[in-house]
Protein backbone atom coordinates (compact mmCIF):
# COMPACT_ATOMS: atom_id res chain seq x y z
CA UNK A 1 0.00 0.00 0.00
CA UNK A 2 1.35 3.42 -0.90
CA UNK A 3 0.88 6.03 1.79
CA UNK A 4 0.25 9.56 0.59
CA UNK A 5 0.72 12.50 2.96
CA UNK A 6 -2.94 13.28 2.48
CA UNK A 7 -5.68 13.17 -0.05
CA UNK A 8 -5.68 15.75 -2.81
CA UNK A 9 -9.42 16.28 -2.31
CA UNK A 10 -10.60 17.59 1.09
CA UNK A 11 -13.51 15.12 1.35
CA UNK A 12 -11.60 12.14 -0.08
CA UNK A 13 -10.06 9.56 2.24
CA UNK A 14 -6.39 8.79 1.86
CA UNK A 15 -5.17 5.23 1.20
CA UNK A 16 -4.60 4.23 4.82
CA UNK A 17 -8.08 5.44 5.82
CA UNK A 18 -9.57 3.51 2.88
CA UNK A 19 -7.60 0.41 3.88
CA UNK A 20 -8.82 0.58 7.49
CA UNK A 21 -12.44 1.04 6.52
CA UNK A 22 -12.33 -1.79 3.97
CA UNK A 23 -10.26 -4.32 5.96
CA UNK A 24 -11.70 -3.61 9.41
CA UNK A 25 -15.18 -2.80 8.11
CA UNK A 26 -15.53 0.20 10.41
CA UNK A 27 -16.56 3.75 9.56
CA UNK A 28 -13.94 6.44 10.03
CA UNK A 29 -16.06 8.20 12.67
CA UNK A 30 -16.30 5.04 14.80
CA UNK A 31 -16.69 4.91 17.72
CA UNK A 32 -19.21 7.74 17.79
CA UNK A 33 -18.99 10.21 20.66
CA UNK A 34 -15.36 9.23 21.20
CA UNK A 35 -12.31 11.47 21.19
CA UNK A 36 -10.26 8.92 19.23
CA UNK A 37 -11.72 7.59 15.98
CA UNK A 38 -10.51 5.25 13.27
CA UNK A 39 -9.59 8.31 11.21
CA UNK A 40 -7.43 9.59 14.07
CA UNK A 41 -5.75 6.20 14.40
CA UNK A 42 -4.99 6.23 10.65
CA UNK A 43 -3.33 9.65 10.93
CA UNK A 44 -1.32 8.59 14.02
CA UNK A 45 -0.19 5.39 12.28
CA UNK A 46 0.85 7.31 9.17
CA UNK A 47 2.85 9.82 11.21
CA UNK A 48 4.60 7.07 13.18
CA UNK A 49 5.36 5.11 10.03
CA UNK A 50 6.82 8.09 8.22
CA UNK A 51 9.12 8.88 11.12
CA UNK A 52 10.40 5.45 12.13
CA UNK A 53 9.67 2.60 9.75
CA UNK A 54 12.18 3.52 7.09
CA UNK A 55 15.27 3.50 9.28
CA UNK A 56 13.98 0.57 11.37
CA UNK A 57 13.47 -1.49 8.22
CA UNK A 58 16.94 -0.60 6.94
CA UNK A 59 18.49 -1.43 10.32
CA UNK A 60 16.62 -4.73 10.34
CA UNK A 61 18.03 -5.42 6.90
CA UNK A 62 21.56 -4.63 8.12
CA UNK A 63 21.05 -7.15 10.92
CA UNK A 64 19.91 -9.72 8.31
CA UNK A 65 23.06 -9.06 6.28
CA UNK A 66 25.29 -9.64 9.29
CA UNK A 67 23.27 -12.75 10.15
CA UNK A 68 24.31 -14.24 6.79
CA UNK A 69 27.94 -14.14 7.99
CA UNK A 70 29.62 -16.60 10.37
CA UNK A 71 28.79 -15.96 14.01
CA UNK A 72 31.41 -14.48 16.32
CA UNK A 73 32.53 -16.90 19.01
CA UNK A 74 32.43 -19.92 16.71
CA UNK A 75 35.53 -21.41 15.09
CA UNK A 76 34.26 -20.45 11.65
CA UNK A 77 33.36 -16.97 12.92
CA UNK A 78 36.75 -16.34 14.50
CA UNK A 79 38.50 -17.36 11.28
CA UNK A 80 36.15 -15.26 9.15
CA UNK A 81 36.45 -12.08 11.24
CA UNK A 82 40.24 -12.40 11.40
CA UNK A 83 40.30 -12.69 7.59
CA UNK A 84 38.12 -9.55 7.36
CA UNK A 85 40.53 -7.74 9.70
CA UNK A 86 43.56 -8.91 7.71
CA UNK A 87 42.10 -7.89 4.32
CA UNK A 88 40.29 -4.74 5.48
CA UNK A 89 43.10 -3.32 7.61
CA UNK A 90 42.21 -0.62 10.11
CA UNK A 91 38.86 0.00 8.35
CA UNK A 92 37.70 -3.44 9.47
CA UNK A 93 37.77 -2.39 13.12
CA UNK A 94 34.56 -0.46 12.42
CA UNK A 95 32.64 -3.75 12.06
CA UNK A 96 34.87 -6.28 13.83
CA UNK A 97 33.04 -8.02 16.71
CA UNK A 98 36.05 -7.54 18.98
CA UNK A 99 35.69 -3.78 18.65
CA UNK A 100 31.90 -3.41 18.66
CA UNK A 101 31.28 -4.56 22.23
CA UNK A 102 28.84 -7.03 23.65
CA UNK A 103 25.18 -6.47 23.02
CA UNK A 104 25.77 -4.15 20.08
CA UNK A 105 23.00 -5.60 17.95
CA UNK A 106 20.73 -5.70 21.02
CA UNK A 107 21.13 -1.92 21.35
CA UNK A 108 20.17 -1.51 17.68
CA UNK A 109 17.14 -3.71 18.23
CA UNK A 110 16.23 -1.53 21.23
CA UNK A 111 16.31 1.70 19.22
CA UNK A 112 19.91 2.87 18.66
CA UNK A 113 19.03 3.68 15.07
CA UNK A 114 22.29 5.03 13.65
CA UNK A 115 24.89 2.87 15.39
CA UNK A 116 25.55 0.09 12.91
CA UNK A 117 24.84 2.33 9.92
CA UNK A 118 27.61 4.76 10.79
CA UNK A 119 30.01 1.87 11.44
CA UNK A 120 29.22 0.23 8.09
CA UNK A 121 29.60 3.52 6.21
CA UNK A 122 32.93 4.26 7.95
CA UNK A 123 34.15 0.74 7.18
CA UNK A 124 33.33 1.01 3.48
CA UNK A 125 34.59 4.59 3.14
CA UNK A 126 37.97 3.70 4.61
CA UNK A 127 38.56 0.63 2.41
CA UNK A 128 40.87 1.11 -0.55
CA UNK A 129 39.61 -0.35 -3.86
CA UNK A 130 41.92 -3.35 -3.52
CA UNK A 131 40.84 -3.90 0.10
CA UNK A 132 37.19 -3.74 -0.93
CA UNK A 133 37.78 -6.41 -3.56
CA UNK A 134 39.60 -8.60 -1.04
CA UNK A 135 36.87 -8.12 1.59
CA UNK A 136 34.22 -9.00 -1.03
CA UNK A 137 36.09 -12.24 -1.75
CA UNK A 138 36.23 -13.11 1.97
CA UNK A 139 32.53 -12.38 2.47
CA UNK A 140 31.56 -14.23 -0.71
CA UNK A 141 33.54 -17.27 0.38
CA UNK A 142 31.22 -17.80 3.36
CA UNK A 143 27.88 -17.01 1.73
CA UNK A 144 25.67 -20.05 1.25
CA UNK A 145 25.18 -20.39 -2.50
CA UNK A 146 22.39 -22.91 -1.94
CA UNK A 147 20.40 -20.45 0.16
CA UNK A 148 21.29 -17.13 -1.44
CA UNK A 149 21.94 -18.21 -5.02
CA UNK A 150 25.30 -16.40 -5.15
CA UNK A 151 28.69 -16.74 -3.55
CA UNK A 152 32.28 -15.89 -4.35
CA UNK A 153 33.47 -12.38 -5.04
CA UNK A 154 30.22 -11.44 -6.80
CA UNK A 155 28.15 -12.47 -3.76
CA UNK A 156 30.52 -10.52 -1.52
CA UNK A 157 30.22 -7.46 -3.74
CA UNK A 158 26.42 -7.70 -3.54
CA UNK A 159 26.64 -7.98 0.26
CA UNK A 160 28.85 -4.88 0.46
CA UNK A 161 26.63 -2.84 -1.89
CA UNK A 162 23.50 -3.86 -0.02
CA UNK A 163 25.08 -3.02 3.35
CA UNK A 164 26.24 0.33 1.99
CA UNK A 165 22.82 1.31 0.65
CA UNK A 166 20.98 0.10 3.75
CA UNK A 167 23.35 2.07 6.00
CA UNK A 168 22.90 5.12 3.78
CA UNK A 169 19.11 4.83 4.12
CA UNK A 170 19.39 4.79 7.92
CA UNK A 171 21.71 7.81 7.88
CA UNK A 172 19.46 9.70 5.49
CA UNK A 173 16.31 8.93 7.48
CA UNK A 174 17.97 9.98 10.74
CA UNK A 175 18.44 13.52 9.44
CA UNK A 176 14.69 13.97 9.95
CA UNK A 177 15.34 14.21 13.69
CA UNK A 178 16.81 17.63 13.05
CA UNK A 179 14.15 18.79 10.60
CA UNK A 180 11.37 21.07 11.83
CA UNK A 181 7.90 21.62 10.40
CA UNK A 182 9.17 24.97 9.08
CA UNK A 183 12.04 23.20 7.28
CA UNK A 184 9.57 20.83 5.64
CA UNK A 185 7.24 23.68 4.61
CA UNK A 186 10.21 25.66 3.22
CA UNK A 187 11.12 22.58 1.14
CA UNK A 188 7.61 22.26 -0.34
CA UNK A 189 7.35 26.00 -0.95
CA UNK A 190 10.70 26.11 -2.76
CA UNK A 191 9.62 23.29 -5.06
CA UNK A 192 6.24 24.88 -5.70
CA UNK A 193 7.99 28.06 -6.88
CA UNK A 194 10.72 26.31 -8.88
pLDDT per position as a tens digit, 124-154: 999 999 999 999 999 999 998 777 788 789 9
What φ, ψ does residue 129 adopt, rounded to 5°? Answer: -55, -40
> Model confidence over 5-41: pLDDT tens digits?
444 455 666 666 776 677 667 666 666 776 677 676 7
Cα–Cα distance list, 35 to 16, 18, 30, 41 (Å): 19, 20, 10, 11
List b or e across 20-30, with b for residues whose CB sees 16 or more CB atoms inside 10 angstroms: bbeeeeeeeee
> Model confidence over 64-119: pLDDT tens digits?
899 999 999 899 999 999 999 999 999 999 999 888 766 677 766 666 656 788 88
Rg (CA), the chain: 22
| Secondary-structure percent of the chain, ordered helix, strand, coil, rounded to 5 | 70, 0, 30
Residues in the chain: 194
Task: State the chain's mean pLDDT as an integer.
Answer: 80
Amino acid sequence: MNRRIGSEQPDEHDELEQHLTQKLNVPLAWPEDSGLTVSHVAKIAAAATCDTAYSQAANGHLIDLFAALPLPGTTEGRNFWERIRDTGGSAAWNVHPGNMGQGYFDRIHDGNEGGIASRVLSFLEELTPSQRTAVAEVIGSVLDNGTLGVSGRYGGELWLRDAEMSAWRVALASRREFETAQDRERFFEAWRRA
